[in-house]
């Protein structure tokens, strides 16, 4: 039995083996429609691999015990199953033989795409699409490979996505066992798309959405597509609604240098000079699309159809080639649906049958997509403003604030807000970090949100998926949001379980109010206290430099002491690592006396370099810490931010010594390890009197990859799991141990990607500091890693994944 099937060879008996996505494409291809080249690795390969895996005795691949046993059980099983699958390696009976038929005749592919095509045993044909609708939200994203020969070996990595903690509960809703899920893999070449889009045909009305280049900008929500509406039989009267697209994703051209093409990413991103999208398709192309959609609708025998398509260059520059990359029937649930296996050929000249009235589908009048920055879902009234100062003085309780950007100086002035939406920012921007810390659902990096959302509109905000729905009046009146999830409590059934951890778990904190919801039983201390945000509460709307410039240093120092002392009292003997001020000019513009914004604040006058230019604010901080030490608090430690050079650290060390801080027992001087130069200078920092480093993965990632973490359009490229970032973190941890330095991590990497925790523990990190909400899974992940349940490679770095 062969596991590799070409699309044009599929028949109705193959539906369960190849899944709906591949089946519908094969069906249309056999009827002569311009479907992309492709083949499918049948679900038999998936089932073969499942049969080779080692399953827990007595449980096997049953999903209920895993998904209903709590988050820790789900996370642990997911990790173990994924690693077990990855350990299988390449699928032995499968080779690259047969993939050659994938190569189109009119261009040389530079990359290939793997996509999931599913079938669930036990569900009837009509229920499959509805049951697996979650795939449309990116549950199993496509995987891109640059070399045809590596496709067989890439399968394990691709399949492991189906075993993540977010996928397993979805399968459990429809399957008893993982083996009931038939996962086929659709393989297609990536076409050099000029334009891409979707088409929806229902009740004789066709809607086409178009973006330039590959469809990535559309699926990631980075563009507002141009939309065309066509009434039945009136293509010449099609009307366009303009869109906005700032970035275009394109394939790199093929090169004769195989080594160079293998190293270079297959997709490049180009900035458009003018972001407007105005009627990207001509009348002939629209006519062709509509005709194909009508034929597809009749072939599939449903009341409607949805297509994904693209146009790529042909021999005639004026006549690009149209290709269908995905097809699915639209079914009116009030009618009995024909089974997918019932095929219809379209007789020449046959007219489309009358279509029934479709149901009222749009419960949402507006959909805005961005980056899910802080988990949670909430319904609330939108308060939209172009500037923070335009917000009303009194905000409705539980409202959702929609702004172009939100900096910390404004964030803390919004106590009654229930949710946040911003046009700018990434998953590690300060608004996102603060929203996670205080438990407010948030979506950032949502293009044109302030234009698409009306003031007073009822919104449904999904901070997990990064989607904001503007509800219609009817939907808003009847909508009842689900109960908010209860945070998982720390386990109490095994006293002392986490006290024996060698890797200490600490907390990131910004505000005194955060202590109220903080359980200190399993917390070793505060690994990062953000001084900028702590001080905001006491500034009375004035910039710190305004206080200094008005000779009010003593009053400012007293206020800082008042902010810090309650936290120290709550901690008892546990250490508090205070990070001194790291003022970026663009984040404080709402405060009186704020200095002007620098051209590039990220690389501007910030961190310890600013102390060399003017140390008055730093002296205020040192005076406050010295006052607290004299009051008997011996658990204070100091972290220096954004250290660029050893000379800066030495100068700060001298100021710290003159303030008398180093005379106190328990004091330690740390530096943030976030500027790449630290990677090469750790021995010198140790000789300069530094006692610990705190890895700031947020800035370290963006500086290593040259990616602005606050730019939503670059979100897909910002990844703390990038091999370069992981190598840098491994080096910092291991070199710190060699130099006798303590090492912690306080950036967002362990929170955003818990799978990194096992690596950090394996490398030998001393402590991991996270937001309070992340404590339960962080504690459990560290326990698993230290007890053999979470590390990928015994004694290794895990960098070979």
18-71 pLDDT, tens digit each: 988 899 999 999 999 999 988 899 999 898 888 888 888 888 888 888 888 777
d(Cα 752, Cα 538) in Å, to the nearest integer?
31
Average pLDDT over residues 754-765: 92
Concatenate the DSSP letters of all residues of 271-300 into one string. E-SS-EE---S-HHHHHHHHHHHHHHHHHH
Diameter of the chain by CA atoms? 93
For the CA atoms of the chain, what is the radius of gyration? 29
d(Cα 195, Cα 312) in Å, to the nearest integer?
7
What is the crossing angle of helices 723-738 and 697-705, to 10°?
Answer: 120
The residues with which 459 forms a beta bridge, in sequence order, are: 380, 470
> Of 565, 440, 570, which Cα lies nearest the Cα of 518?
570
* Res 565: pLDDT: 94
> Of 777, 786, 791, which Cα lies nearest the Cα of 503?
786
Tokens in use for 167?
């996928």
Lowest mean pLDDT among 433-437, 456-460, 746-750: 433-437
Whole-angstrom distance between the N-terminal and C-terminal Cα of the chain?
A: 31
Name every residue whose Cβ is closer than 8 Å to that of residue 50 and which is 6 or more positions away in sequence: 61, 178, 179
pLDDT band at 792 (very low <50, low <70, confident <90, very high): very low
CB neighbour class for 24 (10 Å; exposed up to 12, middle 13-18, buried from 19): buried
Name every residue whose Cβ is closer than 8 Å to that of residue 49 and which is 6 or more positions away in sequence: 85, 88, 91, 156, 159
Concatenate the DSSP letters of all residues of 558-624 into one string. HHHHHHHHHHHHHHTTS-EEEEPP---GGGGTTSBTPPPPPSSGGGSS-HHHHHHH--HHHHHHHHH
| pLDDT, tens digit, 9 for 90 and up, residues 140-158 | 888 888 777 777 778 888 8
Tokens in use for 118?
């599913």
> Of 743, 748, 746, which Cα lies nearest the Cα of 765?
743
- Supply φ then ψ for residue 681, to 5 degrees: -120, 10
The residues with which 468 forms a beta bridge, in sequence order, are: 368, 461
d(Cα 229, Cα 349) in Å, to the nearest integer?
25
* Res 142: pLDDT: 86
SS (H, E, C) 474-512: HHHHHCCCCCCCCCCCCCCCCCCCCCCCCCEEEEEECCH
d(Cα 180, Cα 46) in Å, to the nearest integer?
11
> How many other CB atoms are there within 10 angstroms of residue 738's CB atom?
10
d(Cα 743, Cα 291) in Å, to the nearest integer?
63
Using alpha carbons only, give the angle 719, 531, 627 rounded to the nearest 5 degrees.
150
Q: How far is CA 466 from CA 376, 426, 713, in A?
A: 10, 11, 14
515 three-class SS = helix
Count Cα neighbours of 562 within 13 Å in the Cβ-side half-sphere.
Answer: 11
DSSP 704: H
Lowest mean pLDDT among 417-431, 554-568, 737-751: 417-431
Q: How far is CA 177 from CA 87, 99, 118, 181, 717, in A?
A: 21, 31, 15, 8, 35
Q: How far is CA 19 from CA 24, 237, 275, 513, in A?
A: 9, 38, 38, 51
Name every residue whose Cβ is closer than 8 Å to that of residue 551 and which is 6 or more positions away in sequence: none
Q: What is the mean pLDDT of the chain?
A: 82
d(Cα 176, Cα 123) in Å, to the nearest integer?
12
| pLDDT, tens digit, 9 for 90 and up, residues 390-411 | 888 888 888 999 999 888 778 7
Instruction: Judge whether 369 and 466 are in contact, CB under 8 Å.
Output: yes
DSSP H or E segment with residue 65: helix 64-67
Q: Above 60 in pLDDT, residue 79? A: yes
d(Cα 336, Cα 581) in Å, to the nearest integer?
66
Q: Above 80 in pLDDT, residue 106? A: no
Average pLDDT over residues 610-615: 94
Highest mean pLDDT among 205-209, 252-256, 314-318, 732-736: 732-736
Residue entry with tokens 């509805």: 130
Instruction: Judge whether 172 and 67 are in contact, CB under 8 Å.
Output: yes
Q: Above 80 in pLDDT, residue 709? A: no
The residues with which 331 forms a beta bridge, in sequence order, are: none
Tokens in use for 71?
């988050």
Residue entry with tokens 């009375």: 540
Residue entry with tokens 């024909």: 338
């Amino acid at each position: 039995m062969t596991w590799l099937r070409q699309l044009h060879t599929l028949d109705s008996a193959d539906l369960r083996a190849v899944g709906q996505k591949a089946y519908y494409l094969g069906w249309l291809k056999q009827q002569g429609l311009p479907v992309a080249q492709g083949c499918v690795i049948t679900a038999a390969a998936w089932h073969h691999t499942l049969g080779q895996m080692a399953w827990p005795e007595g449980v096997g691949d049953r999903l209920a015990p895993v998904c209903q046993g709590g988050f820790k059980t789900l996370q642990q099983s997911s990790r173990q199953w994924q690693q077990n699958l990855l350990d299988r390696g390449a699928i032995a009976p499968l080779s690259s033989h047969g993939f050659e038929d994938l190569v189109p005749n009119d261009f040389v592919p530079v990359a290939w795409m793997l996509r999931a095509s599913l079938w669930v045993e036990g569900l009837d044909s009509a229920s499959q699409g509805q049951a697996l609708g979650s795939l449309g939200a990116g549950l199993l994203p496509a995987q891109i490979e640059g070399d045809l020969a590596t496709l067989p070996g890439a399968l394990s990595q691709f399949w492991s996505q189906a075993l993540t903690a977010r996928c397993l509960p979805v399968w459990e809703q429809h399957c008893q066992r993982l083996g009931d899920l038939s996962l086929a893999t659709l393989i297609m070449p990536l076409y050099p798309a000029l334009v891409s889009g979707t088409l929806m045909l229902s009740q004789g009305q066709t809607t086409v959405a178009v973006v330039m280049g590959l469809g990535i900008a559309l699926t990631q929500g980075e563009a507002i597509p141009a939309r065309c509406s066509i009434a039945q039989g009136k293509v010449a009267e099609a009307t366009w609604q303009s869109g906005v697209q700032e970035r275009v994703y394109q394939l790199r051209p093929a090169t004769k240098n195989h080594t160079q093409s293998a190293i270079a990413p297959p997709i490049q991103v180009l900035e458009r000079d003018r972001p407007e999208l105005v009627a990207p398709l001509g009348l002939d192309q629209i006519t062709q699309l509509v005709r194909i959609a009508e034929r597809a609708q009749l072939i599939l025998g449903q009341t409607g159809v949805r297509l994904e398509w693209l146009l790529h260059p042909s021999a005639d520059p004026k006549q690009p080639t149209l290709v269908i990359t995905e097809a699915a029937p639209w079914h009116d649930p009030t009618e009995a649906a024909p089974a997918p296996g019932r095929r219809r050929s379209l007789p020449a000249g046959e007219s489309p049958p009358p279509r029934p009235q479709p149901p009222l589908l749009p419960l949402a009048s507006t959909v805005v997509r961005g980056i899910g920055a802080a988990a949670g879902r909430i319904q609330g009234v939108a308060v939209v403003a172009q500037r923070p100062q335009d917000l009303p003085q009194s905000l409705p309780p539980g409202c959702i604030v929609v702004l172009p950007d939100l900096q910390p100086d404004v964030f803390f002035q919004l106590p009654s807000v229930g949710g946040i939406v911003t046009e700018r920012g990434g998953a590690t921007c300060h608004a996102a970090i603060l929203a996670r810390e205080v438990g407010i659902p948030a979506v950032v990096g949502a293009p044109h949100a302030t234009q698409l959302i009306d003031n007073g509109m009822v919104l449904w905000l999904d901070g997990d998926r990064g989607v904001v729905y503007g509800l219609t009046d009817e939907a808003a009146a009847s909508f009842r949001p689900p109960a908010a999830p209860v945070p998982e409590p720390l386990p109490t059934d095994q006293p002392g379980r986490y006290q024996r951890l060698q890797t200490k778990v600490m907390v990131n904190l910004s505000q005194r109010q955060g202590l109220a919801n903080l359980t200190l039983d399993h917390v070793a201390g505060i690994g990062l206290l953000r001084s900028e945000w702590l001080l905001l509460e006491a500034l009375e709307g004035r910039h710190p430099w305004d206080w200094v410039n008005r000779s009010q240093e003593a009053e400012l120092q007293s206020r800082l002491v008042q902010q810090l002392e309650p936290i120290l009292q709550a901690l008892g003997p546990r250490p508090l690592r205070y990070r001194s001020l790291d003022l970026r000019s663009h984040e404080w513009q709402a405060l009186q006396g704020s200095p002007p914004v620098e051209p590039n604040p990220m690389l501007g006058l910030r961190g310890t370099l600013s102390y060399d230019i003017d140390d008055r604010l730093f002296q205020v901080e040192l005076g406050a810490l010295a006052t607290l030490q004299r009051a008997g608090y011996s658990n204070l430690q100091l972290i220096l931010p954004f250290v660029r050079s050893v000379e800066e650290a030495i100068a700060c060390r001298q100021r710290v010594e003159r303030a008398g801080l180093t005379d106190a027992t328990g004091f330690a001087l740390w530096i943030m390890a976030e500027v790449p130069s630290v990677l090469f200078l750790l021995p010198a920092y140790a000789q300069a009197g530094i006692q610990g480093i705190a890895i700031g993965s947020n800035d370290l990632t963006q500086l290593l990859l040259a990616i602005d973490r606050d730019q939503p359009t670059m979100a897909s490229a910002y990844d703390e799991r990038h091999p370069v970032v992981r190598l840098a973190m491994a080096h910092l941890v291991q070199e710190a141990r060699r130099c006798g330095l303590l090492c912690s991590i306080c950036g967002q990497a362990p929170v955003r990607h818990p799978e990194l925790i096992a690596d950090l523990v394996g490398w030998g990190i001393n402590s991991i500091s996270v937001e309070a909400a992340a404590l339960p899974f962080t504690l459990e992940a560290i326990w698993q890693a230290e007890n053999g349940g979470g590390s990928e490679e015994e004694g290794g770095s895990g960098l070979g994944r």
